[in-house]
Amino acid sequence: MQTLQKLSLPSMGCGTWAWGNQLLWGYDESMDDQLQAVFNLCVSNDVTLFDTGDSYGTGRLNGRSELLLGRFNREYLGSGKENICIATKLAAYPWRWTRQSMVKACKSSAQRLGRNVDLVQMHWSTANYAPWQEEGLLDGLADVYEQGLVKGVGLSNYGPKRLKQVQKKFAERGVSITTLQVQYSLLSTYPVTQLKLKDLCDELGIKLIAYSPLALGLLTGKYSEQGCLPKGIRGLLFRQILPGMRSLLACLQEVAQSRNKTMSQVAINWCICKGTIPIPGAKSVEQARQNIGALGWQLNASEIAELDGAAANADKKMVQNIFQTK
């Protein structure tokens, strides 16, 4: 078995497509140059962890996220290129159930990226609906590490019970779990406050990655109950949640004003202060600048306590990922 040095992750990530559907929200090929500028700005400001997935993009956009990220990586010529860390997630599709299918999927991702994946993650656990499927997928995930195809492996949407089981399974093969990715924000504290995943990750030496740290934009201050909301299911969700998070938004705004920061920057910084690696999405240079403004400073203990209290008292929380296990 080939032994590889455990992957060392950057301190903060800025996933250009941190959410599975974001690539599809209003995307067209004319945005490619703008997204390249986003990538360039992030890397030049030492934000070098980019998270994607092989399921990001369907139909004519199949694999588009990985293809674009690979192109952006090749065409970037500025400083920090050697520090770029590309993470992808392999979907637990119903037709993907053997260990060989995972190895093949990882190789396909690498082909689309034009380089080896640094960190490969299981996108979700099948334990909630098809537990028989998962063993082969996990064996394949360990295989890609043993074969030297990746520098590290991780999981996504796993709870403490399943995480312990997988950690034991991998340890028997000498494979370490580098990261665990969960939905985590001021509006989604469940993985940490109730599942106690941060404590377990610290115990096992696993870095916790926080996806959707801005709660699909609800924590940016951009949306209000009386304002214009997104169309479709996202808009319906916002209408349900916004009335119950007034006190949280007020607290977030107060802290942001006292710090001369934006609400987005405070929300992202809160995730960092909690010891996680947030991966906010950015489809424009301005959004990327906003995210980068969350770096280089820290909320104090009093501010964190105020935000914690406001988050705990919010009447409505973000809907949890249906694949999140316990």
Residues of 211-245 as b/e, b for ≥16 C-beta within 10 angstroms?
A: bbbbbbbbbbbebeeeeebeeeeeeebbeebbeeb
Around Cβ 27, how many Cβ atoms within 10 Å? 19
DSSP SS3 for 188: strand
Q: Which two tokens stand for residue 58?
A: 């369907």
What pLDDT score was predicted for residue 8?
A: 56
Picking from 160, 251, 263, the residue whose alpha carbon sits closest to that of residue 217 is: 263
Q: Which two tokens stand for residue 318?
A: 């973000």
Question: pLDDT per residue over 140-171, tens digit each?
Answer: 999 999 999 999 999 999 999 999 999 999 99
pLDDT < 70 regions, the chain: 1-29, 57-61
What pLDDT score was predicted for residue 28?
A: 61
Tokens 């494979």, residue?
175
What pLDDT score was predicted for residue 64?
A: 85
- CA-CA distance, 279 to 120, in Å (whole number)? 16
Q: Residue 198 — φ and ψ, nearest 5°?
A: -65, -40
Catalytic center residues: 56
Domain boundaries, the chain: 22-216+271-296
| Residue 100: partners with Cβ closer than 8 Å, 6 or more residues away | 140
Pairing type for strands 177-183 and 49-53 reads unpaired
Strand partners, 183: 211
What pLDDT score was predicted for residue 175?
A: 97
What pLDDT score was predicted for residue 283?
A: 85
Any idea what DSSP says for residue 17?
T
pTM of model > 0.75: yes
Instruction: Identify the CATH homologous superfamily for domain 22-216+271-296.
Output: NADP-dependent oxidoreductase domain (3.20.20.100)
What pLDDT score was predicted for residue 10?
A: 53
What pLDDT score was predicted for residue 228?
A: 87
Helix 64-75 × helix 99-113 angle, to 10°: 40
Q: Residue 210 — φ and ψ, nearest 5°?
A: -105, 110
- CA-CA distance, 213 to 183, in Å (whole number)? 7
DSSP SS3 for 268: helix
What pLDDT score was predicted for residue 3?
A: 28
In this structure, are residues 70 and 112 in contact, taking their beta carbons and an 8 Å threshold? yes
In this structure, are residues 306 and 255 in contact, taking their beta carbons and an 8 Å threshold? yes
- Give the 3-state secondary structure percentages of the chain, helix then strand then coil, rounded to 5: 45, 10, 40
Residue type, 194: Q
In this structure, are residues 287 and 265 in contact, taking their beta carbons and an 8 Å threshold? no
Q: Residue 156 — φ and ψ, nearest 5°?
A: -140, 135
Strand intervals (E) in 54-174: 85-90, 119-122, 152-156
Q: Which two tokens stand for residue 191?
A: 């993985």
Q: How many CA atoms lie within 13 A of 289 on its CB side?
A: 4
